C-alpha cells in the first residue's frame, strides 16, 4: 500500500470532508465516536500534531457536551481551558472552533439572542484563524463557521459570507503552496480536486451574497 506524506494526508482528508455537507461534517467531528473524528485524529497524528493530556481531556468533555446539547457547559469548559492554557497550536484552534459552533447552536435555538450569540461565535472564530493558517482542515471549518453565521445573522450576512470566501481563497493558496513545495508528492490531480471543491462552495456562497447583499444595497 502506498504511504502518504503529511501534506498528502491534508489533501486526502480535506477532499473527504469537503465532499459532504459542511454543517453535518462540522458537527460530526464533535462526536468523538464518529468516523470523521477518527480521520481527523489520524491526520493530526500523521502531521505531528500531538495533543497533551489536558487538551485531550477537554476535547473529550467538549465532544460529550456537544453530543448532549449542553452548549453552555461546553463554552464554560472550553473558555476555562483556553484561559488556563493559552492556545498556540492547531488543537487550540479546534477548541476555539468548538466554542464558536456552540454559540451558533445557541443562536439557532434562541432567536431573541441570536445576534449576540453570532457575535460571540465570530470572536472565537477570529481567535482560531491565526492557529489554522497552515491547516486546510482548520480553514475549511472556519469557512463553515463564517457561512453559518451569515445564514443566521440578519446584520452580518454580507460580512460573514465575504469572510467565508476569503478563507476558501486561503485554502486554494495553501494548496498551491504545498504542491509547489512537494510537486512529486502533492499531485496536480490532488490540487485540481481540491480546487474544484473549493470553487463549488464559493459558487454557493456567492449566490447567497447576490441574493442577500444585492437586495440590501437596493
What's the pLDDT band for 40 if we cut at 50, 70, 90?
very low
In percent, the amount of the chain with pLDDT more than 90 equals 52
The predicted model scores a pTM of 0.76
147: Cβ contacts below 8 Å, ≥ 6 apart: 22, 160, 161, 164, 205, 208
**Nearest-angstrom CA–CA distance, 54 and 28:** 22
Delimit the domains of the chain by residue range: 6-63+129-217
Please check the confidence at residue 131 and state whether its pLDDT lies above 70.
yes
Please check the confidence at residue 100 and state whether its pLDDT lies above 60.
yes
The answer to whether 175 and 195 are in contact (CB under 8 A) is yes
How long is the chain? 218
Please check the confidence at residue 21 and state whether its pLDDT lies above 80.
no
128 grid coordinates: 482560531
Please check the confidence at residue 9 and state whether its pLDDT lies above 60.
no
**Nearest-angstrom CA–CA distance, 207 and 205:** 5
Distances (CA, A) of 81 to 52, 54, 58, 86, 99: 13, 9, 7, 8, 11
Please check the confidence at residue 57 and state whether its pLDDT lies above 60.
yes
What are the tens digits of pLDDT across the range 154-203? 999 999 999 999 999 999 999 888 888 877 766 788 888 889 999 999 99
Q: What is the pLDDT of residue 215?
A: 58
Over residues 47-62, mean pLDDT: 71
Q: Is 29 helix (H, G, I), strand (E, B) or coil?
A: coil
What's the pLDDT band for 143 if we cut at 50, 70, 90?
very high
What are the tens digits of pLDDT across the range 66-82? 999 999 999 999 999 99
142: Cβ contacts below 8 Å, ≥ 6 apart: 97, 125, 128, 129, 132, 167
Amino acid at each position: 500500500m502506498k504511504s502518504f506524506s503529511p501534506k498528502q494526508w491534508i489533501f486526502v482528508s480535506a477532499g473527504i470532508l469537503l465532499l459532504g455537507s459542511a454543517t453535518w461534517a462540522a458537527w460530526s467531528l464533535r462526536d468523538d465516536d464518529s468516523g470523521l473524528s477518527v480521520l481527523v485524529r489520524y491526520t493530526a497524528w500523521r502531521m505531528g500534531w500531538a495533543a497533551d493530556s489536558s487538551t485531550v481531556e477537554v476535547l473529550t468533555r467538549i465532544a460529550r457536551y456537544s453530543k448532549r446539547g449542553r452548549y453552555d457547559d461546553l463554552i464554560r469548559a472550553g473558555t476555562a481551558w483556553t484561559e488556563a492554557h493559552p492556545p498556540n497550536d492547531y488543537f487550540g484552534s479546534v477548541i476555539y472552533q468548538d466554542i464558536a459552533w456552540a454559540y451558533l447552536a445557541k443562536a439557532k435555538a434562541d432567536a431573541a439572542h441570536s445576534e449576540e450569540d453570532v457575535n460571540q461565535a465570530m470572536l472565537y472564530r477570529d481567535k482560531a484563524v491565526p492557529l489554522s493558517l497552515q491547516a486546510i482542515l482548520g480553514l475549511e471549518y472556519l469557512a463553515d463557521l463564517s457561512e453559518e453565521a451569515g445564514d443566521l445573522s440578519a446584520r452580518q450576512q454580507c460580512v460573514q459570507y465575504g469572510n467565508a470566501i476569503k478563507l476558501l481563497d486561503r485554502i486554494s493558496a495553501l494548496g498551491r503552496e504545498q504542491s509547489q513545495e512537494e510537486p512529486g508528492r502533492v499531485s496536480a490531480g490532488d490540487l485540481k480536486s481540491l480546487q474544484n471543491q473549493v470553487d463549488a462552495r464559493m459558487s454557493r456562497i456567492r449566490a447567497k451574497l447576490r441574493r442577500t447583499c444585492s437586495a440590501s444595497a437596493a
